[in-house]
Structure 1
Amino acid sequence: MLEHSLLQQAECLGRSRRKSVPVVAKLATSALDFQNAWRLRYEAYASAGYLHHSDKRIYLDKYDNETNRTLLLYRGGTPIASARVCILLEPSARTPECAIPAYEIFQEEIDQHLALLQEDGRPERSIEVTRLSRSPQFGSDLAVTQALFRMIGYLIIHFNASVMFAAVSANHIPFYRRMGFKLIGPPRSYPDLAVQTALMGCDCHGHRPINGLLSSLGSLSKRDPIYRRFMEGQEVEVTPEPQRQSVSFTAVETIPTPKAV
């Protein structure tokens, strides 16, 4: 009994110390930043069974270019999560560099969805939230997910996107539905990964926050000091958000939160 009690105390102390260390967000701007992001991706995707073993233990692709943005989260100087936001400009402004991975497998669905924006007189500009990765060590840490999606929000307003897409595995569909995403395309094989993903999309102006996890995009602004510092490549501390009473935090915990894809 005493040993069990001491173990419980040690576990509680460890959790307390981990929570007391702030989460810091940063755009990938250096070779080291990108190496950290690519290692996180490999670790997350390999642990999920989406990737075969590689001696290099990194995972990158052609969309890791200057047009798109990769962000990282650090805790105590250790990289713990990463995501990439890719931009798909209006048809008249598109170049080979301005594309999103989902367009390779859901081109028809994406074109049809964007055509509806044109009918409404809105820019046919979209982004894809992709390469969402968390260190398996922080796989159940909701504060990490909260911080990751909050900073993704700043990239969405930076790109001035009308729609955001996400290619997600089947078990993550409920999580994205809670944010206001709708199913657009059925699951299909994803290039270079041993997983099928469905295409989901969300009106950036209709994004719904999840209590204790995600900001509403309406609460973020380019006038925020954190936005300016973040887009300049500086490190910014991400503080936890207050919970809203409309949705219980315990209910959120029952929804699988993405560790990869």
Structure 2
Amino acid sequence: MSDSDTSGGLKSCEAIANTMIGHFVTRLEVEAARQGGLTAQDVRRLAEQFMGQEMARFQPTFRRSYDSCTALRESRQWESTRRRPFDRVLMKSFAHLFPARQGDDGGQGLLSRRVIPGFNMAVDKMIGPALYEQCQAKSQAILERHRTSSGTHDWAAVQADPETHALTNDVLVVVAHYFAHFERRRDWFLTLVNSHLGKVAATAPDVHWQLTEHGFAELMRALFADLRAALVSAPAVLRKRYGDHTVDTVEAFLRRLDQV
């Protein structure tokens, strides 16, 4: 989170605190004028009354502040995740299933961006943390090769890089093996993702969103789209690289997805 975001959050909390304290001081002044003075016991009694009466009135303000901070925090977490290059490479394949958002991928709206934390966790568990971190490191090296003169990165070139395709395929064949017992593994994936959805404000349109079996199938079809195309255009190359058994496993997984 940037300094400006942190400052904004602190100012919001400060404003709420100042308002509450100001109201309480006013109550004390009114009671002191009415009674001709206040004892410590009077102050404590008034404080308890104030908390009981005013907390309910300020609850909507607290909720709005909490929801705004939560949404901002989750947004920053997701943006941090997107900066992990391999995560972004994988998500790019199904980003068109997210709702449209200015300056970002998206369009169909079948999936919610809330899926991202659980998806990344599932990938980590399916391929193992060691391979996952190797993929991050290799993706970072690819990313650096496509740094522009302005210091940014050409993500289109990163996605089109043959090494990116090879790295992604290496991971997806492992994922396909993981779904050899399709229904059981699909249910595991759904449970994991839906129990680790990114948090959003209570008023967000996707606050009640859950990944369904249909959504899972669409996500996986998009994730495996390039590998599926390669199975058609260059099956011999893939069989030489991964072996017949692995390619057969991938094809069986794709056929099972098409039945959903």
Q: With the length of structure 1 as denominator, give the TM-score of the two structures.
A: 0.24
Larger radius of gyration: 2
Q: Which is bigger in relative contact order (C-alpha 8 A, separation at least 6)? A: 1
Pick the structure with more helix per residue: 2
Q: With the length of structure 2 as denominator, give the TM-score of the two structures.
A: 0.24
